[in-house]
Amino acid sequence: MNIPNQNDDPAILQALEKYKFYHIIPLNERLSTPGVPGFAKLHSPVLRQMGKMDFQQKRVLDIGCRDGLFSLQAERQGAKEVVGIDSCLSIGAVEFLIPFFKSKIQMKEKGLFDLNLDSDGQFDIILFLGVLYHLRYPFNALKIVSDLLAPGGILILETGIFADSDRHALLHCPIGTESPYEPSSVTFFNRKGMVDSLASFGLKVLETDYITEQDRHSSDEKVVRGTFRCQKNLDLYDSQLHRYWTGNPHQNWRKTT
């Protein structure tokens, strides 16, 4: 397709009509992609955390990147390589947004569980935003994310959090209509469960930002959105415990307990 010039509003509007967008991404001073306004408020804490970070020369992975709002931001902040993956590729991003911004983002249709260290390598920064609560295998996902993050690297995780008293580390795993969102949303750690689980994967939480979502949860449930900026710290990662958890036959658990 012919990519419109940044100032050619009629041609931009015509191009936008072909696609469905999730993110609201400014295209020029007058026009933006027609994303879902209800989700826009979830983006501010993430953009705030990104604003504090140095992306210069960094290799960045955006898991569940959708239309690429955060991938584009990482590129704008100087990342040398940005890989965006999503199990449902945004055609609007690939056909229109990436060429429109003359971006070098590598956007691929790929699921998180198909990522691995051998083929994808390690990243300096991983963005894992609005995806964890959709996953049925959250611990496997956190393991993959941790493995793909370089030592000292930064993870920004954004997810729905079950807000309780935090006396215990909990994972709320509702099925069907019991989900505070909709049936694809099945994984809600409480704050302690999230922070402690991240630590067990060698991910130390440096800063947290919570916002409430009064319009999205029912009256008796307390789900907030949490943005966690974490740093990979191998000192927190107990390889012997991980060998036990993954059932690796070479672990030497009995001898040491």
- Here the tokens at position 8 are 């050619």
Q: Per rule CB under 6 A, is residue 64 in the interface with ligand SAM? A: yes
Q: In terms of CB distance, is 20 or 52 closer to ligand SAM? A: 20
Q: Per rule CB under 6 A, is residue 131 in the interface with ligand SAM? A: yes
Strands laid side by side in the 59-63 sheet:
106-109, 81-86, 59-63, 123-129, 149-162, 223-232, 203-212
Q: Per rule CB under 6 A, is residue 134 in the interface with ligand SAM? A: yes
- To ligand SAM, the closest distance from the beta carbon of 169 in angstroms equals 23
175 in Cβ contact with 186 (< 8 Å): yes
Q: What is the DSSP string of 183-198?
A: TT---EEBHHHHHHHH
Q: Which of 61, 79, 98, 129 binds ligand SAM (CB under 6 A)?
A: 129
Q: Per rule CB under 6 A, is residue 37 in the interface with ligand SAM? A: no
Phi-psi region of 113 (alpha: psi -120 to 50; beta: other; left: phi over 0): alpha
Contact characters 80-109, ligand SAM, x per CB under 6 A: -----xxxx---------------------
Residues 183-242 that bind ligand SAM (CB under 6 A): none
210 in Cβ contact with 128 (< 8 Å): no
Give the SS3 label for residue 94.
helix
- To ligand SAM, the closest distance from the beta carbon of 224 in angstroms equals 16
- To ligand SAM, the closest distance from the beta carbon of 66 in angstroms equals 4
The residues binding ligand SAM (CB under 6 A) are 63-66, 85-88, 111-112, 129-131, 134
